[in-house]
């Protein structure tokens, strides 16, 4: 068994998780809920093992580094973070319905990582600039933020659906609104930390903490976007539909920062496309 097999299996297990949660939404059978959670936890453990094994494999190849250094690895970590975050929300807020809207993001990320042609899956050594603990901190913090924003977008979608249907299995609007906000706040802190660790890394590698390259700039744009959302909510009372729409738009900005910039614009971070 090697890491790529484990991670390949994860793609399908997350698909199955998604199906279970959607089935739960449709059939409203509580027993199903138990299995959906159990299955997702197992899938997540398999993925954790896959990531750990990939780490070990890199050491066996003599180029040991944490599995967080190229596009493939970061997408896998992104989906991993979405699942753990979702499970925490399920546990804290005691609602399983969100799974049908959050887990698809993790599945899509894994499917993209596994099947997209432009993604290179091999474990490759690190060029000198990437050999830094700040880089690891940077990737981890950014992706926790991104995962939170993904979940917030899922919640935003739920909110919009819920607000347009009268009888619904979805949680009440005020609960959705609350969780969306909390998730965005959580993401905002991690994104802030991600931008900061990135700046520290840049400063230790070439003496400039901020150089306005497209990736940096887009992460700042995303950060501004969420700062605007927080202020609109906190000081102008925006809530409900508006914040749900902002949660979705914000995530589009995240995707562009993370994915669009690598392929559509060029800059220092283009290592991600290798």
Partner 1 sequence: MNIITNLWKFFSSVKLALFTLCALASTSIIGTVIPQGETYSFYVKNFGPKWAQFFHILDIPNMYYSWWFLGLLGLLSANLIICSLDRLPRILKIINSDNFAIQPERMEKMAYFKKWKVTSKADLPIDFRTIFNKNGWKLRGQKQKDGEMFFGQKNRWSRIGVYIVHLSILIIFAGAIVGHFFGFKGSVMVPEMKSTAKIYTFKDSQSIDLGFEVRCNSFLIEFYDNGMPKDYRSNLSVLENGKEILTTDIEVNEPLTYKGITFYQSSYEGYQDFIISISEKNSGEGKRFVLPFQQQQTWDVKSLRFGIINVKANGQRVISSKIWFTVGGEPPVTQWLDDNSSSIITVGDRTFTLSAKQMYATGLQVAKDPGVWLVYIGCISMLIGLFMAFFLSHKRIWFYRQEETDGIVLYLSGSANKNKQDFSRLFKKLEERIDSTIHNSIQID
Contacting residues toward ligand HEM, per CB under 6 A: 227, 230-231, 234-235
Under the binding rule (CB under 8 A), the answer on residue 207 touching partner 1 is: yes
Q: Judge contact between 254 and 149, C-beta under 8 A.
A: yes
Q: For ligand HEM, which is the closer residue by CB, 87 or 230? A: 230
**22: nearest Cα among 13, 32, 12:** 32
Q: For ligand HEM, which is the closer residue by CB, 102 or 191? A: 191
Under the binding rule (CB under 8 A), the answer on residue 164 touching partner 1 is: no
Structure token digits, residue 117? 């042609």
| Angstrom distance (rounded) from CA 85 to CA 36 | 16
Identify what 209 binds: partner 1, ligand HEM, none; CB under 5 to 8 Å per kind. partner 1
Under the binding rule (CB under 8 A), the answer on residue 212 touching partner 1 is: yes
Q: Judge contact between 83 and 106, C-beta under 8 A.
A: yes
Q: Which residues of 30-58 are buried (b: 16+ CB within 10 A; e: fewer)?
A: eebbeebbebbeebbebbebbbebbbebb
Contacts of 75 (CB under 8 A, 6+ apart): 109, 110, 112, 113, 119
Minimum Å gap between C-beta 83 and partner 1 is 23
Identify what 255 binds: partner 1, ligand HEM, none; CB under 5 to 8 Å per kind. none
| Angstrom distance (rounded) from CA 57 to CA 74 | 17
Q: For ligand HEM, which is the closer residue by CB, 175 or 239? A: 239
Sequential DSSP letters for 101-119: HHHHHHHHHHHHHHH-TT-
Q: Judge contact between 96 and 26, C-beta under 8 A.
A: no
Q: For helices 241-255 and 214-236, give the axis angle rounded to 10 degrees.
A: 170
**210: nearest Cα among 226, 229, 227, 223:** 223
Q: For ligand HEM, which is the closer residue by CB, 46 or 189? A: 189
Structure token digits, residue 132? 């830094």
Q: For ligand HEM, which is the closer residue by CB, 92 or 231? A: 231
Binding partner 1 by CB under 8 A: which of 65, 153, 261, 262? 261
Binding partner 1 by CB under 8 A: which of 19, 199, 255, 268? 199
Q: For partner 1, which is the closer residue by CB, 39 or 134? A: 134
Under the binding rule (CB under 8 A), the answer on residue 193 touching partner 1 is: yes
Under the binding rule (CB under 8 A), the answer on residue 259 touching partner 1 is: no
Residue nearest to ligand HEM (CB): 234
Q: For ligand HEM, which is the closer residue by CB, 63 or 227? A: 227
From 24-32, 46-54, 77-85, 186-194, span contacting partner 1 (CB under 8 A): 186-194
Q: For helices 241-255 and 173-206, give the axis angle rounded to 10 degrees.
A: 30
Minimum Å gap between C-beta 244 and ligand HEM is 17
Minimum Å gap between C-beta 224 and partner 1 is 4
**119: nearest Cα among 206, 250, 11:** 11
Residues that bind partner 1 (CB under 8 A): 63, 124-125, 127-129, 131-132, 134, 185-186, 188-189, 192-193, 196, 199-201, 203-210, 212, 214, 217-218, 220-221, 224-225, 227-228, 231-232, 235-236, 261, 265
């Amino acid at each position: 068994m090697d890491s790529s097999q484990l991670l390949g299996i994860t793609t399908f297990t997350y698909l199955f998780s998604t199906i279970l949660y959607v089935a739960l939404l449709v059939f409203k059978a509580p027993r199903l809920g138990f299995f959906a959670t159990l299955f997702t936890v197992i899938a997540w453990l398999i993925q954790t093992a896959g990531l750990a094994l990939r780490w070990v494999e890199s050491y066996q190849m003599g180029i040991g580094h944490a599995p967080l250094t190229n596009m493939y690895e970061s997408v896998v970590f992104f989906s991993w973070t979405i699942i753990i975050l979702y499970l925490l929300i399920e546990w804290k807020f005691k609602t399983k319905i969100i799974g049908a809207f959050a887990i698809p993001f993790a599945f899509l990320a894994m499917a993209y990582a596994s099947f997209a042609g432009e993604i290179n899956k091999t474990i490759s050594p690190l060029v000198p600039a990437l050999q830094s603990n700040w880089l690891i901190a940077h990737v981890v913090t950014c992706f926790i933020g991104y995962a939170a924003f993904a979940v917030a977008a899922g919640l935003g979608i739920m909110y919009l659906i819920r607000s347009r249907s009268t009888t619904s299995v979805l949680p009440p609007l005020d609960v959705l609104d609350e969780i969306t906000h909390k998730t965005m706040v959580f993401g905002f802190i991690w994104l802030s930390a991600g931008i900061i660790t990135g700046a520290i890394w840049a400063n230790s590698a070439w003496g400039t903490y901020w150089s306005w390259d497209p990736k940096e700039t887009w992460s700042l744009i995303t950060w501004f976007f969420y700062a605007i959302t927080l202020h609109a909510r906190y000081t102008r009372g925006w809530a409900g539909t508006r914040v749900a729409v902002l949660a979705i738009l914000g995530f589009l900005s995240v995707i562009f920062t993370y994915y669009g910039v690598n392929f559509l614009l060029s800059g220092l971070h283009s290592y991600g496309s290798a």
